[in-house]
């Protein structure tokens, strides 16, 4: 059986290529389990099994763990102190920690926690987050595991035909002029959406798309609505 590895630093940047100058495509968080696909000296190509979204990381951010060891519980607060391999560390929401399960914030509390956090391509923490990282973390906090990218997330769950049929928490997806899914948001109601564009913000939405009232324009064109559902593991 191939060994598993666990992230031992608060946030582990993951890159498109095995070099520091390469773009960051995602982040792995403290306590998350990954499998190694390939090694190039200190650079390892790894992925979370639930994502199948490989990226290159420095192996110094990982430690080997037994496959029999249970992963920690999902951290539900933006940041807290946690006992790590090197003593106390500050861990972000989404980290897998050895603790009792924490209370799950409701959707409005979630929005209040994240509103104003800056946008960061590949980010998944309060220091910066992207649109699909936000939607992935929200649903993982509720026990539903989604793929990493918006275009991948748009392929899972139940399709909802119209906004008036939607429920808070449904995901809304937006495309570009070529019809490619490029953005995702979380519905707070049938006419408001939480999303990361420049920063995490709450905007109006209708069947045309996202309307940014402060800028007086539509910023994203609505393509489809999905409702994540549990899947058999």
Catalytic sites, residue numbers? 131, 183, 195
Cα separation, 162 vs 23, whole angstroms: 36
Residue 171 CB neighbour total at 10 angstroms: 28
Contacts of 36 (CB under 8 A, 6+ apart): 2, 3, 5, 44, 45, 46
> Is residue 181 within 8 Å of 151, Cβ to Cβ?
yes
Residue 9 tokens read as 């630093």
Residue 216 tokens read as 């007086």
- Please give the DSSP secondary-structure letter assigned to residue 225: E
């Amino acid at each position: 059986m191939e060994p598993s590895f666990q992230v031992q630093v608060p946030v582990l940047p993951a890159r498109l290529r095995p070099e520091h100058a390469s773009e960051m495509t995602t982040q792995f968080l403290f306590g998350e389990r990954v499998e190694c696909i390939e090694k190039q000296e200190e650079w390892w190509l790894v992925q979370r099994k639930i994502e199948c979204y490989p990226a290159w990381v420095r192996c110094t951010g990982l430690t080997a763990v037994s496959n029999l060891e249970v992963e920690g519980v999902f951290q539900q607060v933006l940041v807290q102190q946690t006992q790590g391999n090197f003593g106390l560390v500050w861990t972000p929401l989404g980290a897998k920690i050895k603790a009792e399960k924490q209370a799950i914030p409701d959707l409005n509390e979630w929005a209040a926690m994240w509103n104003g956090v800056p946008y960061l391509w590949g980010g998944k923490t309060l220091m910066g987050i992207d649109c699909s990282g936000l939607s992935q973390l929200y649903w993982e906090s509720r026990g539903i595991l989604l793929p990493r990218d918006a275009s991948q997330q748009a392929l899972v769950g139940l399709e909802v035909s119209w906004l008036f049929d939607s429920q808070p928490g449904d995901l809304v997806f937006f495309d570009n002029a070529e019809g490619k899914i490029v953005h995702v948001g979380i519905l707070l109601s049938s006419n408001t959406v939480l999303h990361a564009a420049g920063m995490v913000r709450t905007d109006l939405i209708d069947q045309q798309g996202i309307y940014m009232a402060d800028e007086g324009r539509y910023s994203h064109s609505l393509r489809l609505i999905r409702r994540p559902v549990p899947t058999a593991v």
